[in-house]
Amino acid sequence: MTPTEPLTRGTAAPATVRPPLPVKMVIAGGFGVGKTTTVGSISEIEPLTTEASITEVAAGVDDLTHTPRKTTTTVALDFGCITIDPTLKLYLFGTPGQERFGFMWDDIVEGAVGGLVIVDTRRLDDCYAAVDYFEHKDIPFAVAVNAFDGKVEHSLDEVRWALDVSEGVPVLVFDARERGSVRDALLVVLELALARTEQ
């Protein structure tokens, strides 16, 4: 049959293939907790990063005690994407971790269905601002404890108590370097967002 011939009776029209639904998710947390690594581990495209070298001036402002080998820092955002299945594609936006870049957050978070707040248990104070932000904006989020060197300094119950997050906020351990671990953490946030839409 040529393209100009009409379909005959009994011939089904070809199914329309719809592109996956785009969904925005934010990866947040303090300085050096693994946000850029998280996006890079899972993204199916080469991630867009806005890394800048840490200068002597910045080193005097940002605490490098637990990240002595860190030589760059995110100064705007990280971006990547991952197709979850044929119906859903996640667009990941990583926030800068330093408080001085907080003015960007509203623009980065706008339209997001949820957030993953990454924490380093050696310095929980660094993630308070991210937790407070998502709570204040009433955006579903999960707390993901990054297992630096394969271990965490405190139990998940202790982390929940220290952050004072409700029982409705999942607190989990993950490894920002491992694709499968990142995927599982993102799926937890997606489930939260879906549950919110069904309420």
Per residue in 92-149, pLDDT (tens digit) is: 999 875 565 555 778 888 999 999 999 998 888 888 999 999 999 999 999 999 998 7
Instruction: Assess whether pLDDT exceeds 70 at residue 53.
Output: no
Determine contact, residues 108/78, Cβ cutoff 8 Å.
no
Rounded (5°) CA angle 67-68-73: 60
Q: What is the pTM of this model?
A: 0.78
Rounded to 5°, the CA angle 186-175-132 comes to 60
Share of the chain above pLDDT 70, in %: 75
Give the helix/strand (H/E) hosting 143: strand 141-146
Q: For residues 62 and 77, which has the higher predicted lDDT (pLDDT)?
A: 77
What per-residue confidence (pLDDT) applies to 57? 43
> pLDDT averaged over the chain?
82
pLDDT score at 107? 87
Q: What is the pLDDT of residue 193?
A: 92
Q: What is the pLDDT of residue 148?
A: 80
Which pLDDT does position 10 carry in this prediction? 55
Is residue 184 within 8 Å of residue 174, measured between CB atoms? yes
Beta bridge partners of 24: 91
R_g of the chain, CA atoms, integer Å: 20
Q: Is 80 exceeded by the pLDDT of residue 3?
A: no
